[in-house]
Amino acid sequence: MDQIFKLIPERFHAVSRKILNGERITEEEGLMLLNQAPMSLLALLAVNIKEKKSGEYVYYNRNFHIEPTNICMFDCKFCSYRKPADSPEAWFMETDEILELASRYKDSSVTEVHIVGAVHESRGLLYYVNLIRKIKEILPQVTVKAFSAVELDSMIMQAGLSLEEGLMLLKNSGLGAIPGGGAEIFDETVRLDICGEKCSSARWLEVHETAHKLGISSNATMLYGHIENNGHRINHLKRLRDLQDRTGGFNAFIPLKYRKLNNSLSEIGEVSVTEDMRVLAVSRIFLDNFPHIKAYWPMYGKNTTQLALNFGADDIDGTIDDTTKIYSMAGAEETKPSMTVADMESIIEGAGYIPRERDSFYNPVK
Ligand code: V47
Protein backbone atom coordinates (compact mmCIF):
# COMPACT_ATOMS: atom_id res chain seq x y z
CA MET A 1 0.00 0.00 0.00
CA ASP A 2 2.77 2.48 0.97
CA GLN A 3 4.44 1.81 -2.38
CA ILE A 4 1.27 2.91 -4.15
CA PHE A 5 1.15 6.15 -2.14
CA LYS A 6 4.58 7.09 -3.52
CA LEU A 7 2.88 7.27 -6.93
CA ILE A 8 0.01 9.49 -5.74
CA PRO A 9 0.44 13.28 -5.48
CA GLU A 10 0.45 14.25 -1.83
CA ARG A 11 -2.63 16.44 -1.93
CA PHE A 12 -4.67 13.33 -2.84
CA HIS A 13 -3.32 11.13 -0.04
CA ALA A 14 -6.08 11.80 2.49
CA VAL A 15 -8.97 11.27 0.09
CA SER A 16 -7.30 8.21 -1.47
CA ARG A 17 -6.80 6.65 1.96
CA LYS A 18 -10.46 7.22 2.75
CA ILE A 19 -11.60 5.59 -0.48
CA LEU A 20 -9.25 2.62 -0.16
CA ASN A 21 -10.51 2.12 3.42
CA GLY A 22 -14.09 2.01 2.14
CA GLU A 23 -15.08 5.36 3.66
CA ARG A 24 -17.55 7.72 2.01
CA ILE A 25 -16.23 10.92 0.40
CA THR A 26 -17.81 14.38 0.70
CA GLU A 27 -19.08 16.57 -2.14
CA GLU A 28 -15.96 18.76 -1.80
CA GLU A 29 -13.72 15.71 -2.15
CA GLY A 30 -15.75 14.46 -5.12
CA LEU A 31 -15.36 17.84 -6.78
CA MET A 32 -11.63 17.92 -6.12
CA LEU A 33 -11.24 14.48 -7.73
CA LEU A 34 -13.34 15.45 -10.73
CA ASN A 35 -11.48 18.74 -11.21
CA GLN A 36 -7.92 17.75 -10.49
CA ALA A 37 -7.10 14.10 -9.87
CA PRO A 38 -4.71 12.38 -12.30
CA MET A 39 -6.46 9.87 -14.57
CA SER A 40 -4.29 7.04 -13.25
CA LEU A 41 -5.46 7.76 -9.70
CA LEU A 42 -9.12 7.88 -10.73
CA ALA A 43 -8.74 4.53 -12.51
CA LEU A 44 -7.00 2.97 -9.49
CA LEU A 45 -9.60 4.17 -6.97
CA ALA A 46 -12.63 3.38 -9.13
CA VAL A 47 -11.38 -0.10 -10.01
CA ASN A 48 -10.65 -0.75 -6.33
CA ILE A 49 -14.31 -0.08 -5.50
CA LYS A 50 -15.59 -1.98 -8.54
CA GLU A 51 -13.58 -5.04 -7.52
CA LYS A 52 -14.88 -4.89 -3.95
CA LYS A 53 -18.43 -4.87 -5.32
CA SER A 54 -18.29 -7.30 -8.22
CA GLY A 55 -14.84 -8.87 -8.07
CA GLU A 56 -13.54 -9.92 -11.47
CA TYR A 57 -16.97 -10.03 -13.08
CA VAL A 58 -18.40 -7.66 -15.63
CA TYR A 59 -22.07 -8.09 -16.47
CA TYR A 60 -24.13 -8.04 -19.65
CA ASN A 61 -27.63 -9.14 -20.54
CA ARG A 62 -29.73 -10.29 -23.48
CA ASN A 63 -32.21 -7.54 -24.14
CA PHE A 64 -34.16 -5.62 -26.73
CA HIS A 65 -35.93 -2.27 -26.75
CA ILE A 66 -39.38 -1.11 -27.75
CA GLU A 67 -39.65 2.59 -28.63
CA PRO A 68 -43.34 2.96 -29.46
CA THR A 69 -43.09 6.54 -30.74
CA ASN A 70 -40.76 9.51 -30.99
CA ILE A 71 -43.57 12.06 -31.19
CA CYS A 72 -43.24 13.78 -27.83
CA MET A 73 -45.16 16.56 -26.11
CA PHE A 74 -41.93 17.80 -24.54
CA ASP A 75 -39.25 19.54 -26.56
CA CYS A 76 -35.93 19.09 -24.72
CA LYS A 77 -32.96 20.96 -26.16
CA PHE A 78 -30.57 17.98 -26.11
CA CYS A 79 -32.93 15.46 -27.70
CA SER A 80 -32.25 14.23 -31.24
CA TYR A 81 -34.88 11.51 -31.01
CA ARG A 82 -38.04 13.61 -30.74
CA LYS A 83 -39.64 14.64 -34.03
CA PRO A 84 -42.84 16.58 -34.80
CA ALA A 85 -45.74 14.40 -35.98
CA ASP A 86 -45.43 15.60 -39.60
CA SER A 87 -41.69 14.85 -39.87
CA PRO A 88 -40.61 12.01 -42.19
CA GLU A 89 -38.47 10.78 -39.27
CA ALA A 90 -41.43 10.52 -36.87
CA TRP A 91 -42.93 7.12 -36.06
CA PHE A 92 -45.87 5.84 -34.08
CA MET A 93 -46.17 2.07 -33.63
CA GLU A 94 -49.67 0.65 -33.46
CA THR A 95 -50.30 -1.89 -30.70
CA ASP A 96 -50.20 -4.77 -33.21
CA GLU A 97 -46.76 -3.70 -34.40
CA ILE A 98 -45.49 -3.49 -30.83
CA LEU A 99 -46.79 -6.96 -30.04
CA GLU A 100 -45.39 -8.31 -33.29
CA LEU A 101 -41.97 -6.99 -32.27
CA ALA A 102 -42.30 -8.66 -28.86
CA SER A 103 -43.38 -11.94 -30.52
CA ARG A 104 -40.07 -12.09 -32.43
CA TYR A 105 -38.36 -12.86 -29.10
CA LYS A 106 -40.77 -15.62 -28.06
CA ASP A 107 -38.37 -18.52 -28.33
CA SER A 108 -35.21 -16.57 -27.64
CA SER A 109 -33.09 -16.37 -24.51
CA VAL A 110 -33.75 -12.65 -24.06
CA THR A 111 -34.37 -11.76 -20.40
CA GLU A 112 -35.33 -8.07 -20.59
CA VAL A 113 -37.35 -5.69 -22.71
CA HIS A 114 -36.60 -1.99 -22.20
CA ILE A 115 -39.57 0.18 -23.19
CA VAL A 116 -39.27 3.95 -23.44
CA GLY A 117 -40.43 6.38 -25.98
CA ALA A 118 -42.01 9.71 -25.63
CA VAL A 119 -44.81 11.44 -23.81
CA HIS A 120 -47.65 11.16 -26.34
CA GLU A 121 -51.04 12.69 -25.64
CA SER A 122 -53.04 9.77 -27.08
CA ARG A 123 -51.52 7.14 -24.79
CA GLY A 124 -52.19 7.12 -21.09
CA LEU A 125 -51.76 4.88 -18.09
CA LEU A 126 -54.47 2.38 -18.99
CA TYR A 127 -53.07 1.93 -22.49
CA TYR A 128 -49.67 1.04 -21.02
CA VAL A 129 -51.13 -1.19 -18.30
CA ASN A 130 -52.83 -3.20 -21.04
CA LEU A 131 -49.74 -3.16 -23.23
CA ILE A 132 -47.53 -4.56 -20.48
CA ARG A 133 -50.12 -7.24 -19.74
CA LYS A 134 -50.15 -8.31 -23.40
CA ILE A 135 -46.35 -8.29 -23.65
CA LYS A 136 -46.13 -10.46 -20.51
CA GLU A 137 -48.61 -12.90 -22.07
CA ILE A 138 -46.26 -13.25 -25.05
CA LEU A 139 -43.00 -13.17 -23.04
CA PRO A 140 -43.83 -14.32 -19.50
CA GLN A 141 -40.21 -14.97 -18.53
CA VAL A 142 -38.94 -11.56 -19.67
CA THR A 143 -38.58 -8.60 -17.28
CA VAL A 144 -40.41 -5.53 -18.52
CA LYS A 145 -38.17 -2.56 -17.62
CA ALA A 146 -40.30 0.33 -18.72
CA PHE A 147 -40.92 4.07 -18.75
CA SER A 148 -38.71 6.84 -17.49
CA ALA A 149 -39.87 8.69 -14.38
CA VAL A 150 -40.89 11.55 -16.69
CA GLU A 151 -43.23 9.28 -18.66
CA LEU A 152 -44.54 7.70 -15.45
CA ASP A 153 -45.21 11.07 -13.82
CA SER A 154 -47.07 12.25 -16.90
CA MET A 155 -49.25 9.16 -17.39
CA ILE A 156 -50.09 8.79 -13.70
CA MET A 157 -50.92 12.48 -13.23
CA GLN A 158 -53.08 12.47 -16.37
CA ALA A 159 -54.99 9.48 -14.94
CA GLY A 160 -55.65 11.47 -11.75
CA LEU A 161 -53.99 8.85 -9.54
CA SER A 162 -51.36 9.07 -6.83
CA LEU A 163 -47.89 7.75 -7.66
CA GLU A 164 -48.52 4.76 -5.36
CA GLU A 165 -51.77 3.90 -7.13
CA GLY A 166 -50.35 4.34 -10.64
CA LEU A 167 -47.18 2.39 -9.95
CA MET A 168 -49.10 -0.44 -8.25
CA LEU A 169 -51.37 -0.74 -11.30
CA LEU A 170 -48.30 -1.01 -13.53
CA LYS A 171 -46.59 -3.44 -11.17
CA ASN A 172 -49.64 -5.66 -11.05
CA SER A 173 -49.81 -5.69 -14.84
CA GLY A 174 -46.19 -6.93 -15.06
CA LEU A 175 -43.86 -3.92 -14.78
CA GLY A 176 -40.67 -5.42 -13.35
CA ALA A 177 -38.26 -2.49 -13.14
CA ILE A 178 -37.84 1.16 -14.12
CA PRO A 179 -35.04 2.45 -16.36
CA GLY A 180 -32.96 5.46 -15.40
CA GLY A 181 -33.93 7.98 -18.07
CA GLY A 182 -35.29 11.48 -17.65
CA ALA A 183 -32.94 12.38 -14.79
CA GLU A 184 -30.84 14.60 -17.08
CA ILE A 185 -29.25 16.97 -14.57
CA PHE A 186 -30.92 17.73 -11.25
CA ASP A 187 -29.66 21.30 -10.83
CA GLU A 188 -32.90 23.26 -11.20
CA THR A 189 -31.48 26.15 -13.26
CA VAL A 190 -29.76 23.92 -15.80
CA ARG A 191 -32.77 21.59 -15.93
CA LEU A 192 -35.12 24.50 -16.62
CA ASP A 193 -32.92 25.62 -19.48
CA ILE A 194 -32.40 22.28 -21.25
CA CYS A 195 -35.67 20.46 -20.48
CA GLY A 196 -38.01 22.86 -18.70
CA GLU A 197 -41.17 20.99 -19.70
CA LYS A 198 -40.09 17.77 -17.98
CA CYS A 199 -41.04 17.00 -14.39
CA SER A 200 -38.87 18.60 -11.72
CA SER A 201 -35.82 16.92 -10.20
CA ALA A 202 -37.71 16.53 -6.93
CA ARG A 203 -40.52 14.74 -8.77
CA TRP A 204 -38.07 12.45 -10.65
CA LEU A 205 -36.61 11.45 -7.29
CA GLU A 206 -40.09 11.04 -5.79
CA VAL A 207 -41.16 8.66 -8.58
CA HIS A 208 -38.11 6.47 -7.93
CA GLU A 209 -38.48 6.64 -4.16
CA THR A 210 -42.12 5.62 -4.39
CA ALA A 211 -41.28 2.79 -6.78
CA HIS A 212 -38.56 1.50 -4.46
CA LYS A 213 -40.98 1.52 -1.53
CA LEU A 214 -43.40 -0.57 -3.60
CA GLY A 215 -40.66 -3.09 -4.38
CA ILE A 216 -39.91 -1.89 -7.92
CA SER A 217 -36.19 -1.40 -8.39
CA SER A 218 -34.75 1.06 -10.87
CA ASN A 219 -31.71 2.61 -12.51
CA ALA A 220 -30.51 6.20 -12.49
CA THR A 221 -28.81 8.23 -15.20
CA MET A 222 -27.09 11.61 -15.53
CA LEU A 223 -26.86 13.45 -18.84
CA TYR A 224 -23.52 15.27 -18.84
CA GLY A 225 -21.36 17.18 -21.29
CA HIS A 226 -23.74 19.99 -22.25
CA ILE A 227 -24.10 23.24 -20.26
CA GLU A 228 -23.59 21.80 -16.78
CA ASN A 229 -20.39 22.10 -14.75
CA ASN A 230 -18.57 19.76 -12.38
CA GLY A 231 -20.44 21.19 -9.38
CA HIS A 232 -23.78 20.29 -10.98
CA ARG A 233 -22.51 16.77 -11.66
CA ILE A 234 -21.47 16.20 -8.05
CA ASN A 235 -24.75 17.67 -6.79
CA HIS A 236 -26.61 15.21 -9.04
CA LEU A 237 -24.63 12.27 -7.66
CA LYS A 238 -25.21 13.47 -4.08
CA ARG A 239 -28.99 13.54 -4.54
CA LEU A 240 -28.91 10.01 -5.93
CA ARG A 241 -26.67 8.79 -3.11
CA ASP A 242 -29.02 10.31 -0.52
CA LEU A 243 -32.03 8.59 -2.06
CA GLN A 244 -30.20 5.28 -2.28
CA ASP A 245 -29.38 5.60 1.44
CA ARG A 246 -33.09 5.84 2.14
CA THR A 247 -34.35 3.04 -0.12
CA GLY A 248 -31.55 0.85 -1.53
CA GLY A 249 -33.72 0.46 -4.64
CA PHE A 250 -31.26 1.48 -7.36
CA ASN A 251 -29.53 -1.30 -9.27
CA ALA A 252 -27.23 0.71 -11.51
CA PHE A 253 -26.08 4.20 -12.34
CA ILE A 254 -25.51 5.08 -16.00
CA PRO A 255 -23.64 8.26 -16.95
CA LEU A 256 -24.98 9.36 -20.35
CA LYS A 257 -22.73 11.47 -22.55
CA TYR A 258 -24.52 14.23 -24.45
CA ARG A 259 -24.26 13.54 -28.21
CA LYS A 260 -24.64 16.45 -30.53
CA LEU A 261 -26.26 15.42 -33.83
CA ASN A 262 -29.46 17.22 -34.86
CA ASN A 263 -30.57 18.89 -31.67
CA SER A 264 -30.77 22.43 -30.33
CA LEU A 265 -27.51 22.23 -28.39
CA SER A 266 -25.41 20.95 -31.31
CA GLU A 267 -23.08 23.96 -31.40
CA ILE A 268 -21.74 23.03 -27.94
CA GLY A 269 -19.99 19.94 -29.31
CA GLU A 270 -19.13 16.88 -27.25
CA VAL A 271 -16.77 16.30 -24.34
CA SER A 272 -13.62 14.17 -24.78
CA VAL A 273 -13.25 10.50 -23.95
CA THR A 274 -10.90 11.59 -21.16
CA GLU A 275 -13.75 13.53 -19.61
CA ASP A 276 -16.09 10.55 -20.06
CA MET A 277 -13.68 8.41 -18.06
CA ARG A 278 -13.32 11.07 -15.32
CA VAL A 279 -17.10 11.29 -14.91
CA LEU A 280 -17.42 7.52 -14.88
CA ALA A 281 -14.66 6.95 -12.33
CA VAL A 282 -15.86 9.69 -9.98
CA SER A 283 -19.41 8.30 -10.22
CA ARG A 284 -18.10 4.87 -9.18
CA ILE A 285 -16.17 6.41 -6.29
CA PHE A 286 -18.88 8.80 -5.09
CA LEU A 287 -21.87 6.45 -5.37
CA ASP A 288 -20.52 4.03 -2.78
CA ASN A 289 -24.02 2.63 -2.17
CA PHE A 290 -24.77 1.81 -5.84
CA PRO A 291 -24.04 -1.84 -6.57
CA HIS A 292 -23.37 -1.35 -10.30
CA ILE A 293 -22.14 1.26 -12.77
CA LYS A 294 -23.11 0.70 -16.37
CA ALA A 295 -20.99 1.67 -19.40
CA TYR A 296 -23.82 1.86 -21.93
CA TRP A 297 -22.15 0.64 -25.12
CA PRO A 298 -24.54 2.13 -27.75
CA MET A 299 -23.67 5.54 -26.29
CA TYR A 300 -19.89 5.20 -25.82
CA GLY A 301 -19.19 2.86 -28.75
CA LYS A 302 -17.42 -0.48 -28.28
CA ASN A 303 -13.84 0.76 -27.84
CA THR A 304 -14.67 3.35 -25.18
CA THR A 305 -16.88 0.80 -23.44
CA GLN A 306 -13.90 -1.50 -23.09
CA LEU A 307 -11.82 1.37 -21.72
CA ALA A 308 -14.62 2.19 -19.25
CA LEU A 309 -14.13 -1.21 -17.62
CA ASN A 310 -10.78 0.08 -16.39
CA PHE A 311 -12.45 3.15 -14.88
CA GLY A 312 -14.90 1.35 -12.60
CA ALA A 313 -17.81 0.16 -14.78
CA ASP A 314 -18.98 -3.40 -14.13
CA ASP A 315 -21.79 -3.67 -16.68
CA ILE A 316 -22.03 -2.96 -20.41
CA ASP A 317 -25.80 -3.42 -20.99
CA GLY A 318 -26.95 -5.92 -23.57
CA THR A 319 -27.38 -7.39 -27.02
CA ILE A 320 -29.92 -4.67 -28.04
CA ASP A 321 -30.49 -6.25 -31.47
CA ASP A 322 -30.75 -2.94 -33.30
CA THR A 323 -33.94 -1.95 -31.49
CA THR A 324 -33.05 1.47 -30.08
CA LYS A 325 -32.60 4.69 -32.04
CA ILE A 326 -32.05 7.21 -29.22
CA TYR A 327 -28.27 7.22 -29.57
CA SER A 328 -27.87 6.58 -33.29
CA MET A 329 -30.14 9.58 -33.98
CA ALA A 330 -27.92 11.66 -31.66
CA GLY A 331 -24.74 10.81 -33.59
CA ALA A 332 -23.28 7.78 -31.80
CA GLU A 333 -20.86 5.64 -33.87
CA GLU A 334 -23.11 2.61 -33.57
CA THR A 335 -25.75 3.35 -36.19
CA LYS A 336 -27.43 -0.06 -35.81
CA PRO A 337 -26.55 -1.13 -32.27
CA SER A 338 -26.42 -4.89 -31.96
CA MET A 339 -23.97 -7.26 -30.30
CA THR A 340 -23.80 -11.00 -30.00
CA VAL A 341 -22.97 -12.63 -26.68
CA ALA A 342 -19.57 -13.53 -28.15
CA ASP A 343 -18.94 -9.84 -29.04
CA MET A 344 -19.79 -8.75 -25.51
CA GLU A 345 -17.73 -11.45 -23.88
CA SER A 346 -14.74 -10.55 -26.00
CA ILE A 347 -14.98 -6.85 -25.01
CA ILE A 348 -15.09 -7.84 -21.34
CA GLU A 349 -12.28 -10.39 -21.58
CA GLY A 350 -10.15 -7.92 -23.53
CA ALA A 351 -10.34 -5.57 -20.55
CA GLY A 352 -9.13 -8.33 -18.22
CA TYR A 353 -12.47 -9.31 -16.65
CA ILE A 354 -14.73 -12.34 -16.57
CA PRO A 355 -18.02 -11.94 -18.45
CA ARG A 356 -21.18 -12.87 -16.60
CA GLU A 357 -24.65 -12.88 -18.09
CA ARG A 358 -27.18 -11.33 -15.70
CA ASP A 359 -30.92 -10.78 -15.48
CA SER A 360 -32.41 -7.33 -14.82
CA PHE A 361 -31.60 -7.67 -11.10
CA TYR A 362 -28.00 -8.84 -11.57
CA ASN A 363 -28.72 -12.46 -10.76
CA PRO A 364 -26.45 -14.66 -12.86
CA VAL A 365 -28.17 -16.37 -15.79
CA LYS A 366 -27.07 -19.93 -16.35
O1 V47 B 1 -33.21 10.61 -20.51
C2 V47 B 1 -31.54 11.89 -25.06
C3 V47 B 1 -30.69 10.66 -23.04
C4 V47 B 1 -32.01 9.12 -22.02
C5 V47 B 1 -29.67 12.51 -25.96
O6 V47 B 1 -31.88 2.30 -17.32
C7 V47 B 1 -29.43 11.73 -24.83
O8 V47 B 1 -30.70 0.71 -18.20
C9 V47 B 1 -27.20 11.95 -25.18
O10 V47 B 1 -32.41 6.54 -19.96
N11 V47 B 1 -27.35 12.72 -26.25
C12 V47 B 1 -32.84 7.90 -22.27
N13 V47 B 1 -28.21 11.45 -24.44
C14 V47 B 1 -31.99 6.63 -22.26
C15 V47 B 1 -31.89 6.02 -20.89
C16 V47 B 1 -31.16 4.76 -20.69
C17 V47 B 1 -30.20 4.35 -21.59
C18 V47 B 1 -29.55 3.14 -21.34
C19 V47 B 1 -29.85 2.33 -20.27
C20 V47 B 1 -30.82 2.75 -19.38
C21 V47 B 1 -31.16 1.88 -18.22
C22 V47 B 1 -31.48 3.96 -19.58
O23 V47 B 1 -31.23 9.37 -23.17
C24 V47 B 1 -32.70 10.44 -21.79
C25 V47 B 1 -31.57 11.40 -22.04
O26 V47 B 1 -30.81 11.58 -20.88
N27 V47 B 1 -30.60 11.39 -24.31
N28 V47 B 1 -31.00 12.58 -26.10
C29 V47 B 1 -28.56 13.03 -26.68
N30 V47 B 1 -28.68 13.82 -27.73
The C-alpha atoms of residue 236 and residue 246 are separated, in whole angstroms, by 16
Q: What is the residue-averaged pLDDT of the chain? A: 97
The residue whose CA is least distant from atom 10 of ligand 1 is: 181
Model pLDDT, residue 155 = 97
For residue 168, count other CB atoms closer than 10 A to its CB.
17
- In the structure, what pLDDT confidence band is assigned to residue 241 with cuts at 50, 70 and 90? very high
**Pocket lining: 147 vs ligand 1, CB cutoff 6 Å:** no
Residue 266 has pLDDT above 90, yes or no: yes
Average pLDDT over residues 231-257: 98
**Pocket lining: 297 vs ligand 1, CB cutoff 6 Å:** no
**Pocket lining: 59 vs ligand 1, CB cutoff 6 Å:** no
The predicted-structure confidence for 178-219, as pLDDT tens digits, reads as follows 999 999 999 999 999 999 999 999 999 999 999 999 999 999
Model pLDDT, residue 57 = 98
**Pocket lining: 117 vs ligand 1, CB cutoff 6 Å:** no
Model pLDDT, residue 336 = 94
**Pocket lining: 353 vs ligand 1, CB cutoff 6 Å:** no
Share of the chain above pLDDT 70, in %: 100
The predicted-structure confidence for 109-156, as pLDDT tens digits, reads as follows 999 999 998 999 889 999 999 999 999 999 999 999 999 999 999 999
**Pocket lining: 80 vs ligand 1, CB cutoff 6 Å:** yes
CB of 32 closer than 8 Å to CB of 286: no
**Pocket lining: 163 vs ligand 1, CB cutoff 6 Å:** no
Model pLDDT, residue 3 = 87
The residue whose CA is least distant from atom 21 of ligand 1 is: 179
What global pTM score does this model have? 0.98
CA-CA distances (angstroms) from residue 199 to 176, 180, 331, 345? Answer: 22, 14, 26, 38
Model pLDDT, residue 188 = 98
Q: What is the DSSP string of 261-322?
A: TTSTTGGG----HHHHHHHHHHHHHH-TT-SEEB--HHHH-HHHHHHHTTTT--EEEE--TT
The predicted-structure confidence for 338-351, as pLDDT tens digits, reads as follows 999 999 999 999 99
The residue whose CA is least distant from atom 16 of ligand 1 is: 181
**Pocket lining: 263 vs ligand 1, CB cutoff 6 Å:** yes
**Pocket lining: 179 vs ligand 1, CB cutoff 6 Å:** yes
Model pLDDT, residue 102 = 98
H-helix or E-strand spanning residue 355: strand 354-357
Q: Best substitution site from 175, 178, 223 to test ligand 1's pocket, by max atoms within 8 Å of Cβ? A: 223
The predicted-structure confidence for 35-76, as pLDDT tens digits, reads as follows 999 999 999 999 999 999 999 999 999 999 999 999 999 999
CA–centroid distance, residue 181 to ligand 1 (Å): 5
The predicted-structure confidence for 316-344, as pLDDT tens digits, reads as follows 999 999 999 998 999 998 899 999 999 99
Strand order in the sheet with 292-293: 63-66, 112-115, 143-146, 175-178, 217-224, 250-257, 292-293
CA–centroid distance, residue 366 to ligand 1 (Å): 29
What is the number of the ligand 1 atom nearest to the C-alpha of 79?
Answer: 28
Residue 2 has pLDDT above 90, yes or no: no
**Pocket lining: 30 vs ligand 1, CB cutoff 6 Å:** no
Q: Compute the CA torsion angle 35, 79, 72, 316 (nearest 10 deg).
A: -70
The dihedral built from the CA positions of residue 321, 327, 330 and 332, taken in this order, carries a sign that is negative
**Pocket lining: 79 vs ligand 1, CB cutoff 6 Å:** yes
Model pLDDT, residue 20 = 97
The predicted-structure confidence for 277-298, as pLDDT tens digits, reads as follows 999 999 999 999 999 999 999 9
CA–centroid distance, residue 118 to ligand 1 (Å): 12
